[in-house]
Structure formats: C-alpha cells, structure tokens
Structure 1
Amino acid sequence: MITFNKISAALAVVVLFMFIFVSCSEKDRDQQVAPKADATANDKIPAEVIDQFIKLGFDVSDIKMIEATDPLTGKATGKKNYLLEGDIVITPENLKAMTGSDIHSHGAVNEQYRTANLVSGSPYRIIKVLGYNYGTNALDAKMTTALKYAIDNYNALYGSTFGLRFSLTFGSNTATSDIVVYKVTGSAGGQAGFPAGGNPYKWVQIFSGTSAYSTDVVEHVITHEIGHCLGLRHSDWFNRSLSCGSGGNEGTAGVGAIHIPGTPAGHDPYSVMRACFNSSETGEFGTYDKVALRYLY
C-alpha cells in the first residue's frame, strides 16, 4: 500500500487549505488506512505463524486476522485469513504453499520482487477482470475510467515477451471472473492478495477516498493492486521509507521476496509497486515494472 509525511501534511493544511499530498521528493505522506475489518489482534496469532511471515519477508507489525467472507455479499465462509502491510491478504493455504517452497531470495538488495505464487497458463491465458457496478460496492465514475486505463497498461505489454491478456467487463456477476475490482469505504488506497492454485487473487478493493485524487492516481492504485494479484510484492519492501517517508524493512528476504532478474540494484522511484503512492503519480508502469512482468509471464 502507499503512504505520506504527517508533519509536512499538517503544515500544508494550515497554509494552503487544500490537499495535503505533494510529490514523493517532498516526502509529504500520510498512512493509507484500510477499512477496520473484523480483526484479531496480533497477540492472538500464534508466534510460530508470525515467525513464518517474518522469514518470508513480510512486515508483521500490523498483522491481523480477518473474517473470510464473500466480499460483496458479506456472507461468512467460516474461515479466517491474514492481513499484512495494509493491503495484502494471505490465506492459510497461501502461507503453507510459500513456506513449503524451496525458492529463496538472498540478501536485502533493491530490485523488483515477487512471491513464490504465480499465475499459470502463460502464454496466451486471458485474465477476466470485472469492474463491479452494482449497489454500494459499485465503482464510481473515476474508478471506472481508471480501471480501463489500468487494464490498458497490462494489455500494452502483451506480445512475444508477455503472455497474459486481460479482458474487462462491467457488471455484477462475479462467478466467471478471475479478478473483481470493487469499491469499499476507506480513506485511500486499495487491498488485494497473491495468486493461489495458479490463479490470480480474485478480489481487489479500492477504498472510496482514493477518488479524492486524480484519475491517474486511481489508475496507479488499481494497477498496483492487480500487480499483487499476479504475484508482485512491493518493490521497496526492504525499506518502506523510500516511498512512505517512514518505516523500514518489511522483513528478512525469503521465499516471499524473490528477486526478479533484470531489475536494477538501487531504489526505483518510478515503480508502480512501491509501498506508498503520492498525488503526482502518472498511473503508468515504470521501465522495470515492465521488465519484471515480462520476465514472469
């Protein structure tokens, strides 16, 4: 997810009486907060599970248990999932698969990263994306436009070096969709998870407050969350302060933070997969986001 610097933000409110968010270089950021779902405190999660997430490279400082429900009907499934880093949902099945992998990343280096879980079927797989447009979870007009732009970002990669294509429809029938993008109440940002069973993570939440920003910013958030659905991790997981203005390493390198060859050493300020966003985002992939996705698919 994506954040902003609170001291400068407060000054901006007093002096300018307008948006508190400025460019990344000015480090004016404020934490994007996910909706307060029914969550279990950190101390209710077994220590061995927290240790597994640490070894996989995740920041466990805000880990929660959330009720697994149908995201749109709210019907409980009787299961619980883990929520980490504000926008990453990990099912117990995801965790088992990741801890059982023998693929590792060694050292806290500064490249693009993926999880051990990826989408199968490339090349030539079509990922069916649904923009949800019914009831209180319907995308607003700005989100609808931004989703179209985000899907264009991914389809622009399609070719001999990228084998996934994305179809986009709007409606309320989620049954046949691979990814469903919908609105929930919240400050700004989004939430998604990682692939499982060779399929992308299905549910992408976009918080209602995101539409206070430009269409480009909303496009950025949606593109970022779909990146998680395909298995991408935050590109600056090793030092969140690089994009968030505060925070550190999300965890030691492990199976959950696998370096993608061809991406550079050093911080990439243009990556759409940075942990935090700002109000000047263009909504477009950085050069090495494209390299990463083409390498994987």
Structure 2
Amino acid sequence: MGLGCGEPADETQEIVGNLVQAGFPSNDIMVVEGKVFVGRDAEVSLDASRELLAAGATTEEQYRTNNVVSPSLTKICVNGSAFTGVFSTALDLAIQNYAEMGLTFTMARTPSTGCGFTINGIIDPNMNGGVAGFPANGNPFGQITIGGQLSQYGVDVIEHVITHELGHTIGFRHSDYYNRAISCGSGGNEGDAGVGAIHIPGTPTTASVGASIMNSCFRAVETGEFTDSDRTALTAMYRPTVSAPALVSALASNRCLDVKDGNAAQGTVTQLWECNGTAAQQWSLTAQGELRSSLAPNLCLDVAGGNPAQGTAVQIYGCNGTAAQRWTVVGGSLRSALAPNLCLDVFNASTALGTKIQVWECNGTNAQNWYTR
C-alpha cells in the first residue's frame, strides 16, 4: 500500500489534526488515497476522530477505543457478496465467532432481516491483510477490506483476519498497540498517549504472540478463534445488562453491600449503605464464585491486595479469577477462598451508613450474614 500524493483535503487535515491532538504519534498516522489510518489497518473517519478528541485522555493501556457501538443497536449485518470460495467460508466463520458470544448485538450475513446497521465487505486483490476503522455515532465502521493475497493461507487465517477487522469496527484497538514488534517482529508504539486506548478490566495489560485475535500482525498458524482474553474483552464491553439482586445485611433490613459513591473505578471500597436499588448494590454470583458488580462489566468483589489478614478492606476490581475474588455461600455467610475461615464482614457490626466492609474470621454473627433481595 503506497502513501497518497499531494496535499490532503480539508476534512483529511482535520482528522489528522484531531489524532495528533488526541495523542497519536504523527509517524503512525498514514494518509492513503485521501483516507486516514492509524496502526496501519484502522481507518479513522471524521466523526470518529472528533469523538476520540472529545472523550478525554487516559493513561491506561490496551484494547478498546472511546468509541463503542450503542446498546440500542441489536443486529449488525455484514454484506459479503464480494466474498467467494474460501473467503466466503471464512467470513461465515468470523461472523459466527461474534454471533455465538451472546452480546448486546447479534451479527449476521446479508441477506438477513432486522439489520440495524450493515458493514460492507470488500476484497482487495493487491493486499495481504485487512483494513477497517473505528465506530462513530454509536455505529460500527461501515467497511472492512480483506486482502485477496490471503488466499495463500488456509481458511483459519482468513477467518482470523476478518474477525480482527470486524473487531476494529466495533471498537477494539490492537492488543499490542504499544509495541507492534510483539506480533510483527518490528515496529513501535501506535500511540501510548492513551486517548482511544482504554484498558478493559480483567484483560492482560501486556501482549504476547498468539494471545489475542487483535494482535497487530497475524501468523500462518492462526486458528481464527477468540482467545480467553478476547472473550473477556467482548463480554466486558458488550455483555447485556441484567438486573441483579442486592446483598442485604442481617444487621438491618435496609442496609446493603454498596460500592462507595457508585464509583466503578478499580479499587473503590465497599461499604454498608441504605438499600436503594442502584447498580452499586447489585451483585451476581457466577459459577466460578465471583460476585460481579452491576456497576460496570467485568468488575468483581475483591479482597484488597489478596491479603487474608483480618480487617482487610473489600473493594471492586477487574475480574481476574484469583482467590481474592472467589466466594462460597455457607448458610448466610460468604466465605473467601483466601483462607479456610475468612468471611465477608461488617466492621464492628455497625449499621451506620458508610461502615467499612472487610474480611474477618468467620463467627456466625449477623455482621457476617447476608441475604439476597
């Protein structure tokens, strides 16, 4: 792919200016035939560049853009009429990857009924890879371009590339955007200033070869399937919102386990508060023993620092599968997996608003008994 010649149009200049102001390194921004790309394969529209600029900065790394698909969009379709043979098969498999995830949207190939938005698929015979762009205005990017030279690989690799490019259209950055050499063997940082590169709690903050379908470069041995971290990221971003019960303290019928100030930031402590039915007081117990908060996708009830000492505060943190986030219901108590006799406890058995929630040696008192409502 060669760089375009001449001066870019005014719209292109604005997109480039927005990206530079947002923190993307100028040497990672390419203008090709009047279109603007970052990370080599992610096209940025004018609307998307404005959304990135308006969203504000973050210093966290990895995975998603500030622009995401609106929860009101329930069906995304892909027009693959240009895809034939092995490319057609690979497109069906890529769409299936998303359709099987149980997300806020389903994905299907046209012709299909009920399409809320359609992504157009194009084959470029001169390309060995793919190109897509980021969401804007609550919709996915409207086009993926897949290289015809991928025919030298098997269907799994083509499925991988299509799945990867569809990932960009719904808001995923490269998982190794901060160091393309991880998957490409060479290359630098696509933009660690952070705007549009938000880490999703529960996913790795570092990348490794083969660990994500969203790595910058693909291998000849790709399976075309999501990895565990890909699935975690997808469910965190696009898991359907469901109502979950509150955990009511046996100390008083109007006192609930609550995330302080309804703040979804990792490390926010929990407290006892008047029951109010908000997401800050809704918890879902998973089959793995996690208590997931309804405040934000992929946030779990967590013993701070994984410290089993009595009196350690209990907080919310990105779900990570550790013993600090696993709980077992025994009668009315919630026992931590950190130690054999450690329970979720209300400090000093106080019913005062704002009382600290901690772990303490299990003692069977009402300070350690909870029920759902």
Q: TM-score, normalised by structure 2?
A: 0.57
Alignment of 1:26-37 (within 5 A): 34=1, 36=2
Distance change (3 Å), C-alpha of 1:275 and 1:93:
same
Q: C-alpha distance in 1, partners of 2:3/2:40?
A: 11
Aligned to 1:61: 27
Q: Which amino acid aligns with 1:235?
A: S
Distance change (3 Å), C-alpha of 1:60 and 1:185:
farther
Q: Which amino acid aligns with 2:223?
A: T
Contact 2:69-2:139 within 8 A present in 1 as well: yes
Cα deviation code 1:16-54 (max 9, x no counterpart):
xxxxxxxxxxxxxxxxxx4x4755579x99999656424
Structure 1: give runs of 5+ residues left out of the alignment.
Answer: 1-33, 68-79, 133-137
Aligned to 2:121: 181
Aligned to 2:86: 142
Contact 2:182-2:208 within 8 A present in 1 as well: no
The structure with more helix, counted as a fraction of residues? 1
Cα deviation code 1:213-244 (max 9, x no counterpart):
11000000000000000000000001100000
Q: Which amino acid aligns with 1:282?
A: T
Cα deviation code 1:242-273 (max 9, x no counterpart):
00000121122322111111112332432000
Contact 1:55-1:251 within 8 A present in 2 as well: no
Q: C-alpha distance in 2, partners of 1:46/1:176?
A: 28
Q: C-alpha distance in 2, partners of 1:46/1:91?
A: 9
CA RMSD of aligned residues (A): 2.8
Contact 1:186-1:208 within 8 A present in 2 as well: yes
Aligned to 1:165: 106
Partner residue of 1:97 out of 22, 33, 51: 51
Distance change (3 Å), C-alpha of 1:254 and 1:282:
same
Q: Which amino acid aligns with 1:113?
A: Y
Aligned to 2:42: 88
Q: Which amino acid aligns with 1:130?
A: N
Partner residue of 2:64 out of 104, 111, 114: 114
Cα deviation code 1:174-219 (max 9, x no counterpart):
x985211121122310000011111111110001101111100000
Q: Which runs of 4+ in 1 moved over 6 A?
A: 44-49
Contact 2:178-2:189 within 8 A present in 1 as well: yes
Q: C-alpha distance in 1, partners of 2:5/2:71?
A: 35
The structure with more strand, counted as a fraction of residues? 2
Q: Which amino acid aligns with 2:29?
A: I
Structure 2: give runs of 5+ residues left out of the alignment.
Answer: 239-373
Q: C-alpha distance in 1, partners of 2:26/2:98?
A: 30
Contact 2:76-2:106 within 8 A present in 1 as well: yes
Rg larger in structure:
2
Greater RCO, CA 8 A, separation 6+: 1
Alignment of 1:1-297 (within 5 A): 34=1, 36=2, 38=4, 40=6, 50=16, 52-54=18-20, 56=22, 58-61=24-27, 63-67=29-33, 80-102=34-56, 104-107=57-60, 109=61, 112-121=62-71, 125-132=74-81, 138-158=82-102, 162-169=103-110, 177-269=117-209, 270-297=211-238
Q: C-alpha distance in 2, partners of 1:164/1:272?
A: 19
Distance change (3 Å), C-alpha of 1:170 and 1:206:
farther
Q: Which amino acid aligns with 2:80?
A: G
Q: C-alpha distance in 2, partners of 1:40/1:262?
A: 45
- Secondary structure, in 3 states, of the residue corresponding to 2:226? coil
Contact 1:195-1:201 within 8 A present in 2 as well: yes
Q: C-alpha distance in 2, partners of 1:290/1:157?
A: 8
Shift of 1:293: 0.9
Contact 2:12-2:35 within 8 A present in 1 as well: no
- Secondary structure, in 3 states, of the residue corresponding to 1:114? coil
Contact 2:66-2:171 within 8 A present in 1 as well: yes
Distance change (3 Å), C-alpha of 1:271 and 1:39:
farther
Contact 2:179-2:190 within 8 A present in 1 as well: yes
Q: Number of paired residues?
A: 234
Distance change (3 Å), C-alpha of 1:252 and 1:49:
farther
Cα deviation code 1:144-172 (max 9, x no counterpart):
000000011111111xxx2220121269x
Contact 2:127-2:148 within 8 A present in 1 as well: yes
185-194 or 44-53: bigger deviation: 44-53
Q: C-alpha distance in 1, partners of 2:147/2:131?
A: 8
